[in-house]
Amino acid sequence: MKTAHKKAATPPTPESMEEQKQDHHHQEPADTTFTPTSDLCQQLLDRYGNSSAAQHRHLCAAAAAVRSLLQSESLPLTPLSYFAAAVSSVADEKLDSDAVAALAAFLSIALPLVPAKGIAKAKAADAVTVLVELVERRKEAASAASARALVKCLGVLLGFCDLEDWGSVKLGFETLLKFSIDRRPKIRKCAQDCVVRVFKLFESSTVRKEASTLVLSLLKGYMPLAVELCASGAVDVSNDEICSQPEHLEVIHMLTLLKHIVPYLSVKVSLKVVSRLYKLMNSHFSTLTRHIFSVIKAIFETSKDEVLIMEAENIVKSLASYISSGEKNPCDTRLSAATFLKSALDKLQTGEASKWISSLPLVFTSIAESHVLKHRVKNSRAEPKRCGKGWLYLAGSDVLKHRVKHSRADFPGYCVLKHSVEHSRAQSGFRRLDA
């Protein structure tokens, strides 16, 4: 009996359900239409002053309290002044959760209105420390909305820090990384967006290297569990089981984060990431296969050739092994593997001819041995909308046809390769690929 591999929808986790419940009470207001030229407190009062929602009442009260503080000290009612006063207020350990949530929401509205370079680098670093300490101190008690607001503030604040000095941004960046694998979806998404945005700001090779090393450390920490999940196979781990074990979900969140930030990692770290990914690629489908393939796709699309060429042979071996397992693995993943295989060969052909030649026989053999490729092409054409076996045949034969034609023109080893192709063709029923 054939095993069906379907992308089942992930059931809601207790954390996500609790987040939805908290968001109902502490929803962060939209901040897209506030202007920096008008008094922010008055804008909030005009918009939410008549609202009966608790979070709006708390927000207006917090804004009014901060404005009163500024007026008592004869300070201008600018976004920068509001931000500075709110940071000082939110550090008060006596505040209850509602007050913290309101000030966090207020901060997340005021901070984006501060002009570029409006906050001194040292002051920005100090504010990051205050917010990180607040997050750590109220880790359990903070609502999802207030945690998300604080994460958003950290992401913006890091842009004001000294981006050439790793010590200035390390604490905030580490905190964003932690939240980027948070079990609560909205917080996790916000943190991941912030990590990507901050990575883009890093122009210093030293800072980028340090940030990349932190990401690699995160990956290393989850490697043992990732290896375990990959070895278990898809049929042994259900979605319910994954969701019931938070550390399993964190592995998936880590891979999702990796997919987004691969383009910004240093070359050295990118190499190490690739070397660990191919170790996770087994010949059989697992819970992590699609997530691993998503990262590999991002690597092929964005990484420098030197990263891929150095690990291309290992990637080819892993992909070839996966393809040769045939129907035991879902069709869409086999198609992805065939596409990646073609990309890997392209990289090798361009940069390492000898490795390219040595890899081809393995590719030919793996595709020939995959019994799904023995089905006639006409079967796939009869049902073009299905992920049929013939589609993999087309993908595999395209790889072989393209490679053999180029080998004849470019390399003296063509005769050896042709013999390997013809041998594979005879075993699998391929028509001539170099005709």
Judging by beta carbons within 10 Å of its beta carbon (0-12, 13-18, 19+), is residue 203 exposed, middle or buried? Answer: exposed
C-beta separation of 100 from 143 below 8 A? no
C-beta separation of 46 from 38 below 8 A? no
Nearest by Cα to 8 from 325, 287, 391, 247: 287
Residue 85 carries which side chain, given as an amino acid letter? A
In the chain, the percentage of residues whose pLDDT exceeds 90 is 46
Give the per-residue pLDDT at 361: 63
Give the per-residue pLDDT at 354: 58
Give the per-residue pLDDT at 142: 66
Instruction: Encode pLDDT of 304-344 as tens digits.
Output: 777 777 777 778 888 888 887 767 788 888 888 888 877 77
Q: What tokens appear for 181 in the block?
A: 């694998």
Residue 103 carries which side chain, given as an amino acid letter? L
Give the per-residue pLDDT at 353: 57
Give the per-residue pLDDT at 67: 97
Q: What tokens appear for 191 in the block?
A: 């943190």
Nearest by Cα to 311 from 355, 264, 259: 355
Residue extents of the structural domains in the chain: 12-203
Give the per-residue pLDDT at 321: 82
Give the per-residue pLDDT at 244: 58
Residue 429 carries which side chain, given as an amino acid letter? G
From residue 220, how far is each of 199, 223, 371, 421 by CA, in Å? 20, 5, 36, 39
List, run by run, the mean pLDDT of 10-residue segments along the chain (435 residues): 45 47 45 84 95 94 96 96 95 88 95 95 96 84 83 97 97 97 94 97 96 95 91 58 72 95 92 88 88 90 77 79 79 85 74 58 59 42 42 47 47 44 46 40
pTM of the entire predicted model:
0.78
From residue 305, how far is each of 265, 313, 350, 362 by CA, in Å? 14, 13, 9, 22
Give the per-residue pLDDT at 6: 47
